[in-house]
Structure 1
Amino acid sequence: MPEKMEITRSWREQKVMLKRRFAILSDFDFEYKDGKRESMLDRLSTKLKKSRAELDSLFAELQTY
């Protein structure tokens, strides 16, 4: 099982950073409902044409800025 990353940035900060980096993303892409995290991640993965592993790496990278 992969080690959990330490979250140093708020979700709001991460959304802003991703929207700046990928202009095709909208607020709808980040819509999150309790228990539906996977749906949101699948939506982001599809829209950005990235695998879930690539998406996880992208979120980990955001923590280093």
Structure 2
Amino acid sequence: MNKDIAEGKWKQMKGSVKQKWGKLTDDDVQQINGRCDKFCGKMQERYGMQREEAEREFNQLNK
């Protein structure tokens, strides 16, 4: 996904992200701000996901 598109849609997606991944805090969601690298890091930290899996999850957000 294009970085600019993800960052632009992030405000719309915040609620879905928090609902789907409840272990992410409001601060986590704020820090991610639509950036794949930040999202992947938080998913690895909170859920123990592999980076590739976290990237797939990030890409699924806009489908």
Displacement over 3 Å in runs of 4+: 6-9, 37-41
Task: Tell me if the contact between 2:39 and 2:54 (Cα under 8 Å) persists in the aligned partners.
Answer: no
Percent of matched pairs sharing the same residue: 21
Task: Tell me if the contact between 2:44 and 2:50 (Cα under 8 Å) persists in the aligned partners.
Answer: yes
Structure 1's unaligned 5+ residue stretches are: none
**Alignment CA distance shift 1:46-1:56 (3 Å):** same
Matched AA of 1:17: S
1:29-55 per-residue CA deviation (whole Å, 9 max, x = no partner) reads 23438xxx7456323321022111111
Using CA pairs below 8 Å that are at least 6 residues apart, which structure has the higher relative contact order? Answer: 1
Structure 2's unaligned 5+ residue stretches are: none
* Higher helix proportion: 2
- What is the root-mean-square deviation of aligned Cα atoms in Å? 2.7
Normalized against structure 2, the TM-score is what? 0.62
Name which one, 1 or 2, has greater alpha-carbon Rg. 1
Partners in 1 of 2:47 and 2:13 — Cα distance?
A: 15
